[in-house]
Structure 1
Amino acid sequence: MAIRDKAGMAFDAWELIGGLEVALDVDVLVGAYPDRDGPPGTPATVRAMLAAHRIRAGAVASLRAALFDVRSGNDATLALAAPDDLTASGGGAPVGFVPVGVVDLRDPVGAGREMDRLAAAGVRAVRLFPDEQGVEAGFPSVRHVARRAARLDMTVLTGGDVRRFWQPFAGLEARVVFLDTHFYHLGDFLVAAADEPGFHTSTRLLNSPDALETVAAEIGAERLLYGSRTPHYEPLVPLLRLATSGLKPDEVAAVAGGNARRLLG
Protein backbone atom coordinates (compact mmCIF):
# COMPACT_ATOMS: atom_id res chain seq x y z
CA MET A 1 0.00 0.00 0.00
CA ALA A 2 1.40 3.39 -1.00
CA ILE A 3 0.92 6.35 1.34
CA ARG A 4 1.69 9.98 0.59
CA ASP A 5 3.67 12.13 3.00
CA LYS A 6 3.09 15.82 3.69
CA ALA A 7 5.01 16.75 0.56
CA GLY A 8 2.76 14.54 -1.54
CA MET A 9 5.45 11.95 -2.16
CA ALA A 10 4.32 8.33 -2.23
CA PHE A 11 6.12 5.69 -0.18
CA ASP A 12 5.57 1.98 0.32
CA ALA A 13 4.23 1.41 3.83
CA TRP A 14 4.93 -2.33 3.71
CA GLU A 15 8.57 -1.71 2.87
CA LEU A 16 8.84 0.30 6.09
CA ILE A 17 6.90 -2.28 8.09
CA GLY A 18 9.29 -4.98 6.95
CA GLY A 19 8.84 -8.33 8.63
CA LEU A 20 6.80 -7.11 11.59
CA GLU A 21 3.89 -9.36 12.57
CA VAL A 22 1.36 -8.92 15.35
CA ALA A 23 0.80 -11.99 17.49
CA LEU A 24 -2.32 -10.60 19.19
CA ASP A 25 -4.32 -7.44 18.43
CA VAL A 26 -6.11 -6.28 21.58
CA ASP A 27 -8.86 -4.29 19.80
CA VAL A 28 -10.95 -6.27 17.28
CA LEU A 29 -14.71 -6.15 16.74
CA VAL A 30 -17.27 -8.29 14.96
CA GLY A 31 -20.54 -6.77 13.84
CA ALA A 32 -21.61 -3.38 12.56
CA TYR A 33 -22.87 -0.08 13.91
CA PRO A 34 -26.48 0.35 12.74
CA ASP A 35 -26.31 4.14 12.72
CA ARG A 36 -23.15 4.70 10.71
CA ASP A 37 -21.58 3.63 7.46
CA GLY A 38 -18.95 0.96 7.71
CA PRO A 39 -18.03 -2.63 6.97
CA PRO A 40 -20.42 -5.45 7.91
CA GLY A 41 -17.85 -6.89 10.31
CA THR A 42 -18.61 -10.52 9.65
CA PRO A 43 -16.16 -12.95 11.27
CA ALA A 44 -14.87 -14.07 7.87
CA THR A 45 -14.16 -10.53 6.65
CA VAL A 46 -12.56 -9.57 9.95
CA ARG A 47 -10.26 -12.61 9.81
CA ALA A 48 -9.35 -11.74 6.23
CA MET A 49 -8.50 -8.16 7.15
CA LEU A 50 -6.33 -9.30 10.05
CA ALA A 51 -4.56 -11.81 7.84
CA ALA A 52 -3.88 -9.20 5.18
CA HIS A 53 -2.12 -7.08 7.80
CA ARG A 54 -0.07 -9.95 9.28
CA ILE A 55 -2.09 -9.98 12.47
CA ARG A 56 -2.20 -13.58 13.64
CA ALA A 57 -4.90 -13.31 16.32
CA GLY A 58 -7.36 -10.78 17.65
CA ALA A 59 -9.01 -10.20 21.01
CA VAL A 60 -12.53 -9.99 19.63
CA ALA A 61 -15.70 -8.52 21.11
CA SER A 62 -19.23 -8.34 19.74
CA LEU A 63 -21.01 -5.16 18.73
CA ARG A 64 -24.23 -7.11 18.95
CA ALA A 65 -23.50 -7.64 22.65
CA ALA A 66 -22.64 -3.98 23.13
CA LEU A 67 -25.60 -2.52 21.26
CA PHE A 68 -28.45 -5.04 21.28
CA ASP A 69 -28.30 -8.24 23.30
CA VAL A 70 -25.46 -9.03 25.68
CA ARG A 71 -25.95 -12.74 26.18
CA SER A 72 -26.51 -13.81 22.58
CA GLY A 73 -23.69 -11.56 21.39
CA ASN A 74 -21.28 -12.99 23.93
CA ASP A 75 -22.32 -16.54 23.11
CA ALA A 76 -21.60 -15.87 19.44
CA THR A 77 -18.16 -14.57 20.38
CA LEU A 78 -17.39 -17.66 22.44
CA ALA A 79 -18.29 -19.78 19.43
CA LEU A 80 -15.64 -17.95 17.38
CA ALA A 81 -12.77 -19.01 19.61
CA ALA A 82 -11.86 -21.91 17.33
CA PRO A 83 -10.18 -20.61 14.15
CA ASP A 84 -11.75 -21.42 10.81
CA ASP A 85 -9.91 -22.50 7.68
CA LEU A 86 -8.77 -19.01 6.69
CA THR A 87 -5.00 -18.97 6.98
CA ALA A 88 -2.76 -15.99 7.35
CA SER A 89 -1.36 -14.39 4.24
CA GLY A 90 1.47 -16.44 2.86
CA GLY A 91 0.29 -19.57 4.65
CA GLY A 92 0.93 -20.53 8.23
CA ALA A 93 -1.33 -20.83 11.24
CA PRO A 94 -5.01 -19.85 10.99
CA VAL A 95 -5.98 -16.39 12.20
CA GLY A 96 -7.36 -16.93 15.69
CA PHE A 97 -9.85 -15.15 17.90
CA VAL A 98 -9.48 -14.72 21.66
CA PRO A 99 -12.99 -14.11 23.03
CA VAL A 100 -13.63 -10.96 25.03
CA GLY A 101 -16.92 -10.60 26.89
CA VAL A 102 -19.11 -7.50 26.79
CA VAL A 103 -21.40 -6.10 29.48
CA ASP A 104 -24.11 -3.46 29.44
CA LEU A 105 -23.12 -0.65 31.78
CA ARG A 106 -26.74 0.55 31.79
CA ASP A 107 -27.63 -2.62 33.72
CA PRO A 108 -25.03 -2.97 36.48
CA VAL A 109 -26.78 -5.84 38.24
CA GLY A 110 -27.08 -7.79 35.00
CA ALA A 111 -23.50 -6.85 34.11
CA GLY A 112 -22.24 -8.47 37.30
CA ARG A 113 -24.15 -11.66 36.60
CA GLU A 114 -22.87 -11.78 33.03
CA MET A 115 -19.29 -11.34 34.21
CA ASP A 116 -19.73 -14.27 36.58
CA ARG A 117 -21.05 -16.37 33.70
CA LEU A 118 -18.21 -15.37 31.40
CA ALA A 119 -15.56 -16.03 34.02
CA ALA A 120 -17.01 -19.49 34.61
CA ALA A 121 -16.71 -20.11 30.86
CA GLY A 122 -13.01 -19.25 30.98
CA VAL A 123 -13.20 -15.73 29.50
CA ARG A 124 -10.26 -13.68 30.74
CA ALA A 125 -11.33 -10.19 29.65
CA VAL A 126 -14.40 -7.97 29.48
CA ARG A 127 -14.87 -4.98 27.21
CA LEU A 128 -16.73 -1.78 28.08
CA PHE A 129 -18.47 0.48 25.55
CA PRO A 130 -19.31 3.59 27.60
CA ASP A 131 -19.69 5.96 24.64
CA GLU A 132 -21.99 3.64 22.71
CA GLN A 133 -24.07 2.96 25.82
CA GLY A 134 -24.23 6.60 26.96
CA VAL A 135 -22.48 5.96 30.27
CA GLU A 136 -20.15 8.39 32.02
CA ALA A 137 -17.10 7.53 34.12
CA GLY A 138 -18.75 8.76 37.32
CA PHE A 139 -21.77 6.46 37.05
CA PRO A 140 -21.92 3.89 39.88
CA SER A 141 -22.26 1.10 37.31
CA VAL A 142 -18.71 1.64 36.05
CA ARG A 143 -17.20 1.37 39.53
CA HIS A 144 -19.35 -1.70 40.19
CA VAL A 145 -18.07 -3.43 37.06
CA ALA A 146 -14.50 -2.39 37.85
CA ARG A 147 -14.69 -3.96 41.29
CA ARG A 148 -16.28 -7.14 39.96
CA ALA A 149 -13.57 -7.46 37.31
CA ALA A 150 -10.86 -7.10 39.94
CA ARG A 151 -12.49 -9.78 42.12
CA LEU A 152 -12.82 -12.13 39.15
CA ASP A 153 -9.24 -11.43 38.01
CA MET A 154 -10.50 -10.29 34.61
CA THR A 155 -8.72 -7.77 32.43
CA VAL A 156 -10.87 -4.80 31.40
CA LEU A 157 -10.66 -3.31 27.93
CA THR A 158 -12.42 0.03 27.97
CA GLY A 159 -13.26 2.79 25.58
CA GLY A 160 -13.85 6.35 26.65
CA ASP A 161 -11.70 9.37 27.42
CA VAL A 162 -8.81 8.17 29.58
CA ARG A 163 -8.79 11.51 31.43
CA ARG A 164 -12.07 10.49 33.04
CA PHE A 165 -12.23 6.71 32.78
CA TRP A 166 -9.09 6.05 34.79
CA GLN A 167 -10.89 7.08 37.96
CA PRO A 168 -13.32 4.15 38.46
CA PHE A 169 -10.40 1.71 38.28
CA ALA A 170 -8.05 3.51 40.66
CA GLY A 171 -7.01 1.75 43.85
CA LEU A 172 -8.40 -1.66 42.84
CA GLU A 173 -5.20 -3.29 41.56
CA ALA A 174 -7.17 -3.75 38.35
CA ARG A 175 -5.75 -4.72 34.97
CA VAL A 176 -7.10 -2.21 32.46
CA VAL A 177 -6.32 -1.44 28.83
CA PHE A 178 -7.51 1.99 27.75
CA LEU A 179 -8.41 1.56 24.09
CA ASP A 180 -8.97 5.22 23.19
CA THR A 181 -5.88 6.93 24.62
CA HIS A 182 -5.13 9.78 22.22
CA PHE A 183 -1.65 11.21 21.98
CA TYR A 184 -3.10 14.58 23.00
CA HIS A 185 -4.03 12.98 26.33
CA LEU A 186 -0.92 10.85 26.76
CA GLY A 187 0.42 12.94 29.63
CA ASP A 188 -2.75 12.33 31.64
CA PHE A 189 -2.49 8.59 31.03
CA LEU A 190 1.14 8.54 32.11
CA VAL A 191 0.60 10.33 35.41
CA ALA A 192 -2.39 8.09 36.21
CA ALA A 193 -0.52 4.93 35.20
CA ALA A 194 2.50 5.86 37.30
CA ASP A 195 0.43 5.09 40.39
CA GLU A 196 -1.47 2.14 38.87
CA PRO A 197 0.77 -0.70 37.62
CA GLY A 198 -2.26 -2.42 36.07
CA PHE A 199 -2.99 0.46 33.68
CA HIS A 200 -2.10 -0.19 30.02
CA THR A 201 -2.93 1.51 26.75
CA SER A 202 -3.65 0.55 23.18
CA THR A 203 -1.35 2.02 20.56
CA ARG A 204 -4.18 2.79 18.12
CA LEU A 205 -4.24 6.56 18.56
CA LEU A 206 -0.64 7.05 19.72
CA ASN A 207 0.59 8.18 16.31
CA SER A 208 2.66 11.21 17.23
CA PRO A 209 6.42 10.96 16.47
CA ASP A 210 7.41 10.06 20.03
CA ALA A 211 4.31 8.69 21.79
CA LEU A 212 5.33 5.02 21.96
CA GLU A 213 8.86 5.93 22.94
CA THR A 214 7.59 8.25 25.68
CA VAL A 215 5.45 5.51 27.24
CA ALA A 216 8.37 3.07 27.12
CA ALA A 217 10.71 5.58 28.75
CA GLU A 218 8.29 6.72 31.45
CA ILE A 219 6.51 3.54 32.56
CA GLY A 220 7.85 0.74 30.36
CA ALA A 221 6.97 -0.83 27.01
CA GLU A 222 5.13 -3.59 28.88
CA ARG A 223 2.24 -1.11 29.26
CA LEU A 224 1.72 -0.83 25.48
CA LEU A 225 -0.52 -3.16 23.48
CA TYR A 226 -1.02 -3.07 19.73
CA GLY A 227 -4.65 -2.32 18.90
CA SER A 228 -6.25 -1.64 15.53
CA ARG A 229 -10.05 -1.69 16.00
CA THR A 230 -10.36 -3.85 12.92
CA PRO A 231 -12.53 -3.58 10.83
CA HIS A 232 -13.69 -0.09 11.87
CA TYR A 233 -10.27 1.55 11.74
CA GLU A 234 -7.23 1.25 9.48
CA PRO A 235 -4.84 -1.32 11.01
CA LEU A 236 -1.96 -0.20 8.82
CA VAL A 237 -1.50 3.09 10.67
CA PRO A 238 -0.65 1.70 14.15
CA LEU A 239 1.28 -1.11 12.47
CA LEU A 240 3.45 1.37 10.58
CA ARG A 241 3.99 3.51 13.67
CA LEU A 242 5.15 0.51 15.70
CA ALA A 243 7.46 -0.73 12.96
CA THR A 244 9.14 2.66 12.58
CA SER A 245 9.35 3.42 16.30
CA GLY A 246 12.54 3.72 18.26
CA LEU A 247 11.63 0.79 20.51
CA LYS A 248 14.08 -2.06 20.91
CA PRO A 249 13.28 -5.34 19.10
CA ASP A 250 12.21 -7.10 22.29
CA GLU A 251 9.97 -4.15 23.15
CA VAL A 252 8.39 -4.20 19.69
CA ALA A 253 7.68 -7.92 20.09
CA ALA A 254 6.09 -7.29 23.48
CA VAL A 255 3.85 -4.53 22.11
CA ALA A 256 2.96 -6.65 19.09
CA GLY A 257 1.39 -9.38 21.16
CA GLY A 258 3.52 -10.45 24.09
CA ASN A 259 1.92 -7.99 26.48
CA ALA A 260 -1.58 -8.88 25.33
CA ARG A 261 -0.87 -12.60 25.80
CA ARG A 262 0.27 -11.89 29.34
CA LEU A 263 -2.96 -10.04 30.15
CA LEU A 264 -5.44 -12.19 28.26
CA GLY A 265 -3.89 -15.64 28.56
Structure 2
Amino acid sequence: MNPFVAADLPPVTLDIDVLVGRYADRAGPTGEPREVTATLAANGITRAAVASLRAALFDVPSGNDEAAALAGPGMVPVGGLDLRDPLGAEREIERLAERGFRAVRLFPDEQRVEPDFPSVRHVTRRATEAGLVILTGGDVRRFWRPLRGATVVFLDTHFYHLGDFVVAARDEPGFHTSTRLLNSPDALETVAEHLGVDRLLYGSRTPFYEAAVPRLRLARGGLAPADVAAVAGGNAHRILELPA
Protein backbone atom coordinates (compact mmCIF):
# COMPACT_ATOMS: atom_id res chain seq x y z
CA MET A 1 0.00 0.00 0.00
CA ASN A 2 1.29 3.44 -0.89
CA PRO A 3 2.22 5.11 2.44
CA PHE A 4 0.56 8.36 1.32
CA VAL A 5 -2.80 6.69 0.76
CA ALA A 6 -5.05 6.57 3.80
CA ALA A 7 -7.35 3.64 4.44
CA ASP A 8 -10.47 5.82 4.22
CA LEU A 9 -9.90 6.89 0.60
CA PRO A 10 -12.62 5.85 -1.84
CA PRO A 11 -11.98 2.86 -4.09
CA VAL A 12 -11.54 3.59 -7.79
CA THR A 13 -13.68 1.28 -9.90
CA LEU A 14 -12.37 2.50 -13.27
CA ASP A 15 -9.28 4.63 -13.90
CA ILE A 16 -9.50 6.27 -17.33
CA ASP A 17 -5.77 7.00 -17.78
CA VAL A 18 -3.33 4.10 -17.51
CA LEU A 19 -0.42 3.15 -19.79
CA VAL A 20 1.76 0.12 -20.35
CA GLY A 21 5.19 0.34 -21.94
CA ARG A 22 7.88 2.96 -21.61
CA TYR A 23 9.33 6.07 -23.19
CA ALA A 24 12.61 5.03 -24.78
CA ASP A 25 14.03 8.56 -24.66
CA ARG A 26 13.57 9.25 -20.95
CA ALA A 27 14.14 7.71 -17.58
CA GLY A 28 11.18 6.28 -15.76
CA PRO A 29 9.25 3.12 -15.02
CA THR A 30 9.36 0.22 -17.45
CA GLY A 31 5.58 0.03 -17.67
CA GLU A 32 5.60 -3.76 -17.58
CA PRO A 33 1.96 -4.92 -17.35
CA ARG A 34 2.62 -6.94 -14.21
CA GLU A 35 4.14 -3.95 -12.46
CA VAL A 36 1.34 -1.65 -13.60
CA THR A 37 -1.26 -4.08 -12.29
CA ALA A 38 0.48 -4.22 -8.92
CA THR A 39 0.65 -0.42 -8.71
CA LEU A 40 -3.06 -0.13 -9.44
CA ALA A 41 -3.94 -2.68 -6.79
CA ALA A 42 -1.75 -0.92 -4.23
CA ASN A 43 -3.69 2.29 -4.86
CA GLY A 44 -7.18 0.85 -4.55
CA ILE A 45 -7.87 0.87 -8.30
CA THR A 46 -9.82 -2.21 -9.34
CA ARG A 47 -10.21 -1.55 -13.07
CA ALA A 48 -8.33 0.54 -15.63
CA ALA A 49 -8.63 1.73 -19.23
CA VAL A 50 -5.18 0.81 -20.57
CA ALA A 51 -3.38 1.96 -23.71
CA SER A 52 0.03 0.92 -25.01
CA LEU A 53 2.90 3.34 -25.49
CA ARG A 54 4.17 1.00 -28.17
CA ALA A 55 1.11 1.93 -30.25
CA ALA A 56 1.72 5.63 -29.65
CA LEU A 57 5.46 5.68 -30.29
CA PHE A 58 6.57 2.71 -32.39
CA ASP A 59 4.04 0.44 -34.06
CA VAL A 60 0.29 0.93 -33.87
CA PRO A 61 -1.10 -2.54 -34.68
CA SER A 62 1.28 -4.54 -32.48
CA GLY A 63 0.90 -2.03 -29.65
CA ASN A 64 -2.86 -2.31 -29.80
CA ASP A 65 -2.60 -6.08 -29.91
CA GLU A 66 -0.54 -5.79 -26.73
CA ALA A 67 -3.34 -3.78 -25.10
CA ALA A 68 -5.98 -6.22 -26.33
CA ALA A 69 -4.10 -9.11 -24.72
CA LEU A 70 -4.57 -7.44 -21.33
CA ALA A 71 -8.37 -7.50 -21.55
CA GLY A 72 -9.97 -9.00 -18.48
CA PRO A 73 -11.93 -8.11 -15.35
CA GLY A 74 -9.37 -5.49 -14.29
CA MET A 75 -8.29 -4.13 -17.67
CA VAL A 76 -10.23 -2.42 -20.48
CA PRO A 77 -8.03 -2.10 -23.60
CA VAL A 78 -7.82 1.29 -25.32
CA GLY A 79 -6.51 1.59 -28.86
CA GLY A 80 -3.71 4.01 -29.67
CA LEU A 81 -3.74 5.93 -32.96
CA ASP A 82 -1.00 7.71 -34.90
CA LEU A 83 -2.13 11.19 -35.91
CA ARG A 84 0.89 11.45 -38.20
CA ASP A 85 -0.69 8.76 -40.39
CA PRO A 86 -4.38 9.58 -40.84
CA LEU A 87 -4.93 6.97 -43.54
CA GLY A 88 -3.40 4.28 -41.35
CA ALA A 89 -5.50 5.58 -38.45
CA GLU A 90 -8.64 5.08 -40.57
CA ARG A 91 -7.79 1.43 -41.06
CA GLU A 92 -6.89 0.94 -37.41
CA ILE A 93 -10.17 2.48 -36.24
CA GLU A 94 -12.06 -0.04 -38.34
CA ARG A 95 -9.98 -2.91 -36.97
CA LEU A 96 -10.40 -1.78 -33.37
CA ALA A 97 -14.16 -1.33 -33.72
CA GLU A 98 -14.46 -4.82 -35.18
CA ARG A 99 -12.50 -6.20 -32.21
CA GLY A 100 -14.86 -4.60 -29.71
CA PHE A 101 -12.69 -1.75 -28.43
CA ARG A 102 -14.69 0.97 -26.64
CA ALA A 103 -12.17 3.83 -26.87
CA VAL A 104 -9.12 5.16 -28.68
CA ARG A 105 -6.37 7.38 -27.35
CA LEU A 106 -4.64 10.29 -29.07
CA PHE A 107 -1.07 11.31 -28.24
CA PRO A 108 -0.60 14.72 -29.91
CA ASP A 109 2.30 15.83 -27.71
CA GLU A 110 4.32 12.65 -28.15
CA GLN A 111 3.66 12.67 -31.91
CA ARG A 112 4.27 16.43 -32.27
CA VAL A 113 0.89 17.03 -33.88
CA GLU A 114 -0.77 20.45 -33.78
CA PRO A 115 -4.54 20.90 -33.34
CA ASP A 116 -4.98 22.49 -36.78
CA PHE A 117 -3.42 19.52 -38.60
CA PRO A 118 -6.16 17.99 -40.81
CA SER A 119 -5.51 14.56 -39.31
CA VAL A 120 -6.87 15.57 -35.90
CA ARG A 121 -10.31 16.50 -37.18
CA HIS A 122 -10.38 13.60 -39.62
CA VAL A 123 -9.47 10.96 -37.04
CA THR A 124 -11.97 12.44 -34.60
CA ARG A 125 -14.77 12.10 -37.12
CA ARG A 126 -13.86 8.55 -38.07
CA ALA A 127 -13.62 7.44 -34.44
CA THR A 128 -16.95 9.07 -33.60
CA GLU A 129 -18.64 7.43 -36.60
CA ALA A 130 -17.31 4.09 -35.34
CA GLY A 131 -18.89 4.73 -31.92
CA LEU A 132 -15.57 5.07 -30.09
CA VAL A 133 -14.88 7.34 -27.13
CA ILE A 134 -11.76 9.49 -27.56
CA LEU A 135 -9.21 9.91 -24.79
CA THR A 136 -6.74 12.64 -25.62
CA GLY A 137 -3.67 14.31 -24.27
CA GLY A 138 -2.70 17.86 -25.14
CA ASP A 139 -3.62 21.34 -23.97
CA VAL A 140 -7.41 21.56 -23.81
CA ARG A 141 -7.26 25.25 -24.79
CA ARG A 142 -5.77 24.27 -28.14
CA PHE A 143 -7.29 20.86 -28.86
CA TRP A 144 -10.95 21.43 -28.01
CA ARG A 145 -11.94 22.80 -31.40
CA PRO A 146 -11.18 19.81 -33.70
CA LEU A 147 -12.81 17.47 -31.16
CA ARG A 148 -16.20 19.16 -31.21
CA GLY A 149 -19.12 16.76 -31.56
CA ALA A 150 -17.22 13.79 -30.13
CA THR A 151 -17.39 12.05 -26.78
CA VAL A 152 -13.99 13.01 -25.40
CA VAL A 153 -12.05 12.80 -22.16
CA PHE A 154 -9.33 15.46 -21.96
CA LEU A 155 -6.60 13.76 -19.98
CA ASP A 156 -4.34 16.77 -19.42
CA THR A 157 -6.76 19.47 -18.23
CA HIS A 158 -4.77 21.56 -15.76
CA PHE A 159 -6.49 23.55 -13.05
CA TYR A 160 -4.89 26.68 -14.50
CA HIS A 161 -6.94 26.06 -17.65
CA LEU A 162 -10.13 24.94 -15.95
CA GLY A 163 -12.12 28.02 -16.96
CA ASP A 164 -11.34 27.38 -20.62
CA PHE A 165 -12.49 23.78 -20.30
CA VAL A 166 -15.74 24.83 -18.62
CA VAL A 167 -16.70 27.41 -21.23
CA ALA A 168 -15.83 25.06 -24.10
CA ALA A 169 -17.70 22.15 -22.52
CA ARG A 170 -20.86 24.18 -21.94
CA ASP A 171 -21.58 23.87 -25.67
CA GLU A 172 -20.21 20.33 -25.99
CA PRO A 173 -22.10 17.72 -23.96
CA GLY A 174 -19.55 15.10 -24.98
CA PHE A 175 -16.61 16.90 -23.35
CA HIS A 176 -15.30 15.32 -20.14
CA THR A 177 -12.10 15.76 -18.16
CA SER A 178 -9.75 13.61 -16.16
CA THR A 179 -9.21 14.70 -12.57
CA ARG A 180 -5.44 14.04 -12.66
CA LEU A 181 -4.29 17.68 -12.73
CA LEU A 182 -7.34 19.26 -11.08
CA ASN A 183 -5.65 19.66 -7.72
CA SER A 184 -6.61 23.18 -6.73
CA PRO A 185 -8.90 23.49 -3.68
CA ASP A 186 -12.10 23.96 -5.72
CA ALA A 187 -11.38 22.47 -9.17
CA LEU A 188 -13.62 19.42 -8.94
CA GLU A 189 -16.38 21.43 -7.32
CA THR A 190 -16.15 24.06 -10.08
CA VAL A 191 -16.73 21.47 -12.79
CA ALA A 192 -19.58 19.91 -10.81
CA GLU A 193 -21.22 23.31 -10.29
CA HIS A 194 -20.98 24.54 -13.88
CA LEU A 195 -21.25 21.31 -15.89
CA GLY A 196 -22.35 18.55 -13.57
CA VAL A 197 -20.36 15.87 -11.81
CA ASP A 198 -20.93 13.51 -14.75
CA ARG A 199 -18.17 15.35 -16.68
CA LEU A 200 -15.45 14.28 -14.22
CA LEU A 201 -13.52 11.00 -14.54
CA TYR A 202 -10.75 9.80 -12.25
CA GLY A 203 -7.43 9.39 -14.05
CA SER A 204 -4.03 8.58 -12.58
CA ARG A 205 -1.65 8.05 -15.53
CA THR A 206 -0.18 5.06 -13.76
CA PRO A 207 2.75 4.32 -13.78
CA PHE A 208 4.00 7.80 -14.73
CA TYR A 209 2.18 9.81 -12.08
CA GLU A 210 1.38 9.35 -8.40
CA ALA A 211 -2.08 7.79 -8.28
CA ALA A 212 -2.61 8.90 -4.69
CA VAL A 213 -2.72 12.61 -5.58
CA PRO A 214 -6.01 12.71 -7.54
CA ARG A 215 -7.48 10.12 -5.19
CA LEU A 216 -6.68 12.23 -2.15
CA ARG A 217 -8.16 15.32 -3.80
CA LEU A 218 -11.34 13.42 -4.60
CA ALA A 219 -11.61 12.11 -1.05
CA ARG A 220 -10.92 15.42 0.67
CA GLY A 221 -13.12 17.61 -1.52
CA GLY A 222 -16.68 18.78 -1.12
CA LEU A 223 -18.45 16.24 -3.34
CA ALA A 224 -21.18 14.06 -1.90
CA PRO A 225 -20.42 10.32 -1.52
CA ALA A 226 -22.58 9.39 -4.52
CA ASP A 227 -20.74 11.97 -6.64
CA VAL A 228 -17.37 10.66 -5.47
CA ALA A 229 -18.38 7.16 -6.58
CA ALA A 230 -19.44 8.51 -9.97
CA VAL A 231 -16.12 10.27 -10.51
CA ALA A 232 -14.16 7.27 -9.23
CA GLY A 233 -15.53 4.98 -11.93
CA GLY A 234 -19.26 5.30 -12.46
CA ASN A 235 -18.93 7.99 -15.12
CA ALA A 236 -16.22 6.07 -16.98
CA HIS A 237 -18.35 2.92 -16.99
CA ARG A 238 -21.24 4.95 -18.38
CA ILE A 239 -19.44 6.65 -21.29
CA LEU A 240 -17.62 3.43 -22.22
CA GLU A 241 -20.92 1.53 -21.95
CA LEU A 242 -19.44 -1.06 -19.63
CA PRO A 243 -21.31 -2.99 -16.96
CA ALA A 244 -20.33 -1.86 -13.47
**In which range does the TM-score fall when normalised by the shorter chain?**
over 0.9
User: SS in structure 1 opposite 2:214?
Assistant: helix
Map of 1:14 onto structure 2 = 5
Residue 224 (str. 1) matches residue 164 (str. 2):
no
CA contact (8 A) 2:64 2:80 kept: yes
Map of 2:139 onto structure 1 = 161
Give ranges in structure 2 of 5+ residues lacking alignment.
none
RMSD, aligned α-carbons:
1.2
**Which structure has the larger Rg?**
1
Task: Please report how far the alpha carbon of residue 196 of structure 1 lies from its aligned counterpart in structure 2 after TM superposition.
Answer: 0.2
Deviation sequence 1:227-250 (CA, Å, 0-9, x none): 000000000100100000100111
Map of 1:52 onto structure 2 = 42
User: SS in structure 2 opposite 1:133?
Assistant: coil
Distance 1:243 1:56 in 2: 17
CA contact (8 A) 2:9 2:216 kept: no
Residue 130 (str. 1) matches residue 130 (str. 2):
no
Deviation sequence 1:114-164 (CA, Å, 0-9, x none): 001000100010000000001011100000011011111110000000001
Amino acid at match of 1:179: L
Distance 1:76 1:111 in 2: 17
Deviation sequence 1:15-40 (CA, Å, 0-9, x none): 3x614100000000000000111000
Percent of aligned pairs with the same amino acid? 68
Task: Please report how far the alpha carbon of residue 14 of structure 1 lies from its aligned counterpart in structure 2 after TM superposition.
Answer: 3.1
Deviation sequence 1:25-84 (CA, Å, 0-9, x none): 00000000001110000000000000000000110000000000000000111011025x
Distance 1:245 1:149 in 2: 34
User: SS in structure 2 opposite 1:229?
Assistant: coil
Residue pairs, 1:164-243, within 5 angstroms: 164-170=142-148, 172=149, 174-243=150-219
User: SS in structure 2 opposite 1:14?
Assistant: coil
Map of 1:140 onto structure 2 = 118
Which of 233, 245, 263 pairs up with 2:221?
A: 245
User: SS in structure 1 opposite 2:49?
Assistant: strand
**Which runs of 4 or more aligned residues in structure 1 lie more than 4 Å from their structure 2 counterparts after TM superposition?**
none
Residue pairs, 1:48-87, within 5 angstroms: 48-82=38-72
Distance 2:104 2:4 in 1: 33
Distance 2:111 2:200 in 1: 26
TM-score for the superposition, normalised by structure 2: 0.96
Amino acid at match of 1:26: I
User: How many matched pairs?
Assistant: 241
Distance 2:222 2:168 in 1: 24
User: SS in structure 1 opposite 2:109?
Assistant: helix
Which of 59, 70, 78 pairs up with 1:100?
A: 78
User: SS in structure 2 opposite 1:132?
Assistant: coil
Map of 1:150 onto structure 2 = 128
Amino acid at match of 2:76: V
User: SS in structure 1 opposite 2:101?
Assistant: coil
CA contact (8 A) 2:9 2:215 kept: no
Give ranges in structure 1 of 5+ residues lacking alignment.
3-11, 84-95
User: SS in structure 2 opposite 1:185?
Assistant: helix
Residue 113 (str. 1) matches residue 87 (str. 2):
no
Map of 2:238 onto structure 1 = 262
Map of 1:41 onto structure 2 = 31
Distance 1:116 1:64 in 2: 19
Amino acid at match of 1:188: D
Distance 2:124 2:202 in 1: 23
CA contact (8 A) 2:162 2:187 kept: yes
TM-score for the superposition, normalised by structure 1: 0.89
